Amino acid sequence: MPFLSSNFKLQTSNFTLRYKRFAPVVSFVVGFVYDTLTLTRIDRLSDNLQMLAYLLLSGGALVTLALAEHGRLRHDLILKRLDWVQIVFNFCLGGLLSAYAIYYFRSAAFSKSYIFVGVLAAVWLSNEFLPHRFSRLRVLSLMHFFCSCAYFTFFLPVVTHRLGLVLFIAGGVLSLLFTVGLWTLVLGRELFRPYPYGRDILLPPTFLFLVLVVLYIFNWIPPVPLSTRDIGIYRSVKRVPGARYEVTYRRPEWFEITRRDDRVFAYTPGDAIYCFAAIFAPTDMRQKIFHAWQQRLPDGTWKTTDRIPYPIVGGREEGWRGYTMKRQISPGSWRIDVITENGQILGRIGVSVVAATGRPESIVTEYK
């Protein structure tokens, strides 16, 4: 039995040494998946407290790693367990990035946001292979700043019931102050000297903050906490008793398995095309939403023919429902952008208008 026990310990030790370098990546993925399964609503207190806990825990782990790196941590008990501190940091950042993925992807109109987060994930994973530990520490700090910025820029609109560039900038400033506070715990007054630390530690998050502001202005970052829960093209939309909307569309052919609306619209003179959308907003938030109807011109550009507003009120789980309609529409390619008052795009749906000699004989009716 002693032989079996020592043999088991040896195998366990060899396994740990072999796969130890994968622990940070695994902890990151576990945190990401855990939040994907547990987070529900962006305005729910429990969700926000969970993300705040991640932010504070990862901040404490970052300070611990930085103190150890700069020789200012004297506790042997912690120094021997820095790998576990790294795992905690990665798990928390994985959780924060998953919150970004869940909430920001829900609000994204295009693949821009997916590409943006994909690049950030690639940067995060690449830092595991950086040869110089202090360089890697700077990357960890930058990633932590990004996650705190992502948190504050949707938390502030949730608590203030407002949305816009000013609040986005305010969230970024809070994140910068948080980052400065963490590094002050590590370096004290040395942080504010240009050399050797000030420039290398403070300039990257400041530059990233400015980049995020530019991306927000140019609609590369979606207007969280708003998100499009449902959008479709229909032949008719009307409010019916029971606080429901009745929508109709041409019955799909047997091979059109996934079609649930009329994005290929058989148009006859006198028809109206309806765009129905459900927009989620936090409780008590009020916003004005626009449907911008755009036609594709022969040269490939898009021309806005109508910009129709309607108000939304937050709180409904499935989103505030609304619709717009257009008559006397010419055949061709069209699209409808769902946009905020500030011009940020929440959603987009395309419709191909095809001239027809008669209306569809078979119609499907659904309720939303």
CATH number, domain 227-367, options 2.60.40.1930, 3.30.1490.190, 1.10.3720.10, 2.70.98.10 = 2.60.40.1930
Torsion of CA 60, 61, 64, 69, to 10 degrees: -140
CB-based contacts of 153, cutoff 8 Å, min separation 6: 167, 168, 171, 172, 224
Residue with tokens 């990151």: 28
- Which among 342, 27, 305, 32 has a CA at the least distance from the CA of 165? 342
**Residues 304-330: pLDDT tens digits?**
999 999 999 998 988 999 999 999 899
241 versus 105: the higher-pLDDT residue is 241
CATH 2.60.40.1930 positions along the chain are: 227-367
Does residue 54 carry a pLDDT above 70?
yes
pLDDT digits (tens, 9 = 90+) for 218-237: 877 778 888 888 999 999 99
DSSP 8-state secondary structure symbol assigned to residue 128: G
Question: Which band of pLDDT confidence, cut at 50, 70 and 90, is reported for residue 10?
Answer: very low
Model-wide pTM > 0.85: no
Q: Is the pLDDT of residue 162 over 60?
A: yes
Complete DSSP assignment for 85-125: HHHHHHHHHHHHHHHHHHHHHHH-SSTHHHHHHHHHHHHHH
> What's the pLDDT band for 94 if we cut at 50, 70, 90?
confident
**Token pair in block for residue 255:** 């091979």
Please state, in angstroms and as integers, the Cα–Cα distance from residue 120 to each residue in 31, 126, 140, following that order. 16, 10, 12
CA-closest candidate to residue 163, choices 313, 286, 41, 48: 286
Question: pLDDT tens, 259-300?
Answer: 999 999 999 998 999 999 999 999 889 999 999 999 999 999
Q: How confident is the model at residue 125 (pLDDT cuts 50, 70, 90)?
A: low
Half-sphere exposure of 288 toward its Cβ, with a 13 Å CA cutoff? Answer: 7
CB 23 within 8 A of CB 87: yes
Q: Is the pLDDT of residue 126 over 80?
A: no
Which pLDDT score, from 0 to 100, does residue 227 have? 86
